Amino acid sequence: MKNSSGFDNSFRELDRIPRSQKQKQESFRKIMNELEERPRERKAFFPRFLTAAVSLAACFLFAFIIYSEDAMTRGSYSPVLIGESSITQTAVAISEAEKIFSAEGVYSPNIATIQDEKWEEAARNAINSAEPSKVKLTTKPLYDVQFMLKGKEPLKLKIWEEHGEVYVRTMESKELYILSSEESTLFLEYLKAVAESIQKTP
């Protein structure tokens, strides 16, 4: 009611101005057109505002999903995995100590070099089955194994066998991983055979 009264007063003021009837009608039409356009502008503003808000929320949601998936991927990723990388050569040595890596350097009677498709398949399946483990090992590692991977840095592993299970750890990490019993059986047999050949070498 206050707005209506204000408009009426404005119209009366306009009516007192000495102008022709035509000019008064044109002024009246302009005022009415402006008053009609204001609600439309407000209506148009809110859909635009809501669209922008929804778009922004969608962007934040998408970024959160990507971040969550990435975090989960990092959390479940095992650095000892070979994946589908090509193993060009493997060096195996009998481990001397947990902090010493023996399967590198110049060729020597204490290091066995393997280039074999069956070994590659057994090793890949075993290492790719690695899962994080919280076990506290009480024995020293048995073998040092270095995988030369095509197009990647060498993968250096310490290998344990304890209580019938096979455990691995990279030289760059303190994380311990347990291998699948099914996949590690053949892998361990290969390592034992290689270790025997090393010990028999004069």
If residue 136 lies in a helix (H) or strand (E), which one and from where to where?
Answer: none
| pLDDT per residue as tens digits for the range 41-77 | 555 544 555 565 555 555 555 444 444 444 444 444 4
Q: What are phi and psi of 109, to 5 degrees?
A: -60, -15
How far is the CA of 102 from the CAs of 135, 144, 184, 186, in angstroms?
24, 6, 22, 22
DSSP annotation string for 159-194: EEEETTEEEEEETT---EEE--HHHHHHHHHHHHHH
> Is the model's pLDDT at 196 over the cut of 80?
yes
**Vertex 167 angle, CA 136 and 80, to 5°:** 115
What pLDDT is recorded for position 74?
40
What pLDDT is recorded for position 36?
58
- Using pLDDT thresholds of 50, 70 and 90, give the confidence band for residue 31: low
Separation between Cα atoms, residue 160 and residue 171, nearest integer Å = 13
Strand pairing partners for 144?
93, 158
The 8-class DSSP code of residue 1 comes to: -
Percent of the chain whose predicted confidence (pLDDT) is above 90 = 46
> Is the model's pLDDT at 88 over the cut of 70?
yes
**Are residues 157 and 92 in contact, defined by beta-carbon separation less than 8 angstroms?**
no
**Are residues 139 and 199 in contact, defined by beta-carbon separation less than 8 angstroms?**
no
- Using pLDDT thresholds of 50, 70 and 90, give the confidence band for residue 34: low
Q: Is the dihedral of CA 38, 39, 43, 44 positive or negative?
A: negative
